[in-house]
Structure 1
Amino acid sequence: MIDIKNIDDNMRRLLLKKAYEKLGSSIYEKLQKSRRTIYVYIRGYDERGREIRIPDEVVEKVVNLLPLDEVYEVLEGFSPRRYTVNDIIGILSRVKQDPEFREVFFMLLSKTLGDYLNTTTSKYIVTSDDIELFKKKLREKSKKTASDRLAYLTRALADLNYQLSAEDLNEYLLEVEEESKGKAEHIAKALKLFIKEVVRLRSPQLARELYDSFKTPRSKTQYKPPPLDLDILMKIYENISDLAAKSYFRLLVETGLRTGELFVLTVEHIDLEKRVINIMKENQTKRAYISFLHVETANWLKEKYLPYRNQFVEKYFDSVKNLALIQEIDLLKWKNKLFPFREDRIREEIKEAMDKVGIRFRLYDVRSFFASYLAKRGVSPLIVNLLQGRAPPVQFRILQEHYFVISLEELQRIYDEKAPKLEKL
């Protein structure tokens, strides 16, 4: 894969010098050359001052003695400051088109980042090919079972944005279970079948992690979240150093919204002047209507988080634009997201803060804390349901118009007085 003949004299000497530094005197035997000859090769000229070219067969042996990444380091040079995201995108494009280059790329990737990749590759991106394969697998099932599994899987994948990770799956099923244990059971069965029949073929190790991350809900089993209080959550908040993760956790605690809802929020959803989060999203499982922000949090977002977020988007927009062509990324959607950062990065930052405090729990448990916090402060269960999106918008309007007269101003007043707050003026 390396064209020895095209390696110039200077690079030949550098390769030999690197091999000598790495192997020491054993290189004489490995190359079957004397100490004097190796010295002359590295120097580049003999006693008479004539230039000496290292023969191809010697260079070939040298290349075979060195790890491939070290060979490329000599041939291509390496300076982290010289490489940008656009360079990465260019490499990925070539990886996709050039089989020989792809082989070298994955060999080097596995060699240099193998352990890291094993610990960070925790998300599976579902493709249209995966869906088609699943449909073929369903032909072995009865017509009704096949129809049910496909319908529930399609719905789940849409809710999960066609990305599967252990944490997201676990939290998503808790959300569905809030609405109906029966639906949660059907969705869990569809997801497990998909992971078993499709994901396992593509990525066996990740498939096992995804499959074991959730259990099929049963009507008799009920998960009990750990007891949380505001002091514990404040300590965690104070120990989060990353600004994006800190802002996400703050909204999670103070709004009681679902973890996934915050990740799909756009900047257009938030009115900082009125301190309102307009979600107005209605489907079978996720039905948040509206939520609010404390004065301090609205100021925090305006003065600290949003400038940081906007700078991030501006800095990486062109790179993501180029990457969008390869990864089919919705550029406008990414640009407008309130949290355009990697989910796993935000979650990991929060987990690290939890460890510093000495406690671990699921982020979804914060939603239960929000509900119990309001209940202990005398807030009606109906109001809690409205604030947390358990009542569909249609039902909310009916309550407004016929049974339960309450304005958004009154809801906000209750929120301001009763909702948990992580930071005070």
Structure 2
Amino acid sequence: MPILDIDKLTNEQKIRLFAYVTEEKGITYEQLGISKATGWRYKKGLREIPKEVIEKVLSFLAPDEIARVVYGKKIEKADINDLLKVINTTVEDPQFRSLLFMMLNRFLGEYVKQNTNSYAVTEEDLKLFEKILEQKSKATKEERLRHIKYAMRDLSFSLSPDSLKEYIVELAAEEGPNVARHRANTLKLFIKEVVMPKNPILGQMLYNSFKVPRVEYKYSPPPLSLELLKKIFNSIDHLGAKTFFLILAETGLRVGEVYSLTLEQVDLENGIIKLMKSSATKRAYISFLHKETIEWIKKNYLPFREDFISKYEKAVQQIGGDVEKWKLKFFPFQLADLRSEIKEGMRRVGKEFRLYDLRSFFASYMAKAGVSPFIINVLQGRIAPGQFKILQQHYFVISDIELKKIYEEKAPILLFSNPSAIHKSVVSLLTSLNTDSGM
């Protein structure tokens, strides 16, 4: 089938295509089924180029070449209305659909692959799962529903191979293999009964992406350095993913916690992240942001975020999304997109690891800086429910000030080196030089 509608091409566009094929691509007139004299007339515009000749010309060109020759290097950007037209045409026209998928595979193959590996869980999916569980005993049903509820909250209702794998690893490390095993079994059941019937290929991929932990299961995170994380941060292009990685590295919070943050929870004026929640498995308390990080977010990320929302608000509304809730998200992007961009940054640096490993990095970095395990657990939401309750009821007003001071002095920072550390290094260097010179 033709790449574009030849009847809608202007004579000038046809001449450009013809000239490009014969002069730049080296295709002979004989290959096009015409004489040299006829080819010369086509180029000079003395004779209109027939449709059958243009079809042969197009057969020698890739879609990107056709677009570049016909429309020039700069093609006008499509808007939401254009996207909806493409979707409607794709649904109604099998030939157009075939062409669209061919071009997507050619130009966005890897990106499409990464972003079609996720499944958005709907309210209908959860109702169906609850209905399926009616066949189980009451105790089993309640247990499965409890675990799927926690899983959906932690995974932000989005399932992907990477997120599932990291999630089970995190649970096994922090909550123990028993909790991780029950959660994994519940997720596998959900995928098998709900996802697979709707999307067999994706369902199988999700089902096989993680294992059910055994009791002796133990995961050892790789050693990470602050310098490595700085390099990765600088290698990430997408400002949303860059900010997501920055907050994960500098707070040691869970991926789901950071992704679920709302604008209200991120107090940039006071540098506080207000998680303040407690449950059977998550006891997040409070975290903070460095002054340099706040300034960077205000200068770079917030304008980018506002532009993104302004650009895609209409699209979210048209697909039936909760626009107001979406606009309140601190990260209004797809989690799969953020992960993909961060992974690409890691590949450029030559070191790939799980986002969950940033949590381990934060804990070990703070411990090496002399911070007590209890404070680290408070900052990362790992304290026991009883201790959490005591802190909430009696010590929060004092502890937030103390915690912030500890954080500012000890927590890792990716954007700039610690001024005090620089000062000490300079003093040490000058002392050394003075000693060597005999002063």
What is the TM-score of this pair, normalised by structure 1? 0.76
**1:290 positional shift:** 1.4
Paired position in structure 2 for 1:48: none
- Give the 3-state SS of the residue equivalent to 2:287 in structure 1: strand
Please give the alpha-carbon distance, in whole angstroms, between the structure 2 residues aligned to 1:248 and 1:377. Answer: 24
Contact 1:277/1:290 (<8 A) preserved: yes
**1:109 positional shift:** 1.8
CA deviations 1:172-219 (Å, max 9, x no partner) are 223433235333212212323444566556666655553443221222
Aligned residue runs from structure 1 range 13-28, under 5 A: 13-21=15-23, 24=26, 26-28=28-30
Paired position in structure 1 for 2:265: 269
Aligned residue runs from structure 1 range 18-417, under 5 A: 18-21=20-23, 24=26, 26-31=28-33, 33-45=34-46, 52-63=47-58, 66-67=61-62, 77-80=71-74, 82-86=76-80, 89-95=83-89, 98-100=92-94, 101-118=96-113, 121-127=116-122, 138=132, 149=144, 152-177=147-172, 178-196=174-192, 199=195, 207=203, 209-228=205-224, 232-238=225-231, 240-241=233-234, 242=236, 247-293=243-289, 297=290, 299-340=291-332, 343=335, 346-347=338-339, 359-375=351-367, 381-391=373-383, 396-398=388-390, 407-416=399-408
Amino acid in structure 2 at the alignment position of 1:83: K
Please give the alpha-carbon distance, in whole angstroms, between the structure 2 residues aligned to 1:155 and 1:321. Answer: 29
Contact 1:89/1:322 (<8 A) preserved: no
CA deviations 1:330-358 (Å, max 9, x no partner) are 44444443344554565466556656776
Amino acid in structure 2 at the alignment position of 1:313: R
**1:266 positional shift:** 2.6
**1:324 positional shift:** 0.8
CA deviations 1:280-331 (Å, max 9, x no partner) are 23344333121234xxx1x223322222122112323332112213544444
Please give the alpha-carbon distance, in whole angstroms, between the structure 1 residues aligned to 2:35 and 2:258. Answer: 68
Please give the alpha-carbon distance, in whole angstroms, between the structure 2 residues aligned to 1:205 and 1:56. Answer: 42
- Give the 3-state SS of the residue equivalent to 2:382 in structure 1: coil
Please give the alpha-carbon distance, in whole angstroms, between the structure 2 residues aligned to 1:352 and 1:196. Answer: 30
Paired position in structure 2 for 1:49: none
1:327–1:186 CA distance, 2 compared to 1 (3 A): farther
- Give the 3-state SS of the residue equivalent to 2:233 in structure 1: coil
Please give the alpha-carbon distance, in whole angstroms, between the structure 2 residues aligned to 1:332 and 1:58. Answer: 54
RMSD: 4.2
Please give the alpha-carbon distance, in whole angstroms, between the structure 2 residues aligned to 1:404 and 1:29. Answer: 81
- Give the 3-state SS of the residue equivalent to 2:215 in structure 1: coil
Amino acid in structure 2 at the alignment position of 1:44: G
Please give the alpha-carbon distance, in whole angstroms, between the structure 2 residues aligned to 1:56 and 1:360. Answer: 52
Amino acid in structure 2 at the alignment position of 1:280: M
1:421–1:114 CA distance, 2 compared to 1 (3 A): closer
For structure 1, the 5+ residue unaligned runs are 46-51
Paired-residue identity, %: 43
CA deviations 1:210-249 (Å, max 9, x no partner) are 3443221222212122345xxx124422552246555544
1:151–1:104 CA distance, 2 compared to 1 (3 A): farther
Contact 1:192/1:211 (<8 A) preserved: yes
1:88–1:201 CA distance, 2 compared to 1 (3 A): farther
For structure 2, the 5+ residue unaligned runs are 420-439
**1:420 positional shift:** 4.5
Please give the alpha-carbon distance, in whole angstroms, between the structure 1 residues aligned to 2:411 and 2:191. Answer: 39
Contact 2:156/2:256 (<8 A) preserved: no
Contact 1:237/1:249 (<8 A) preserved: no
What is the TM-score of this pair, normalised by structure 2? 0.73
Amino acid in structure 2 at the alignment position of 1:292: F
CA deviations 1:13-32 (Å, max 9, x no partner) are 4444444447656443553x
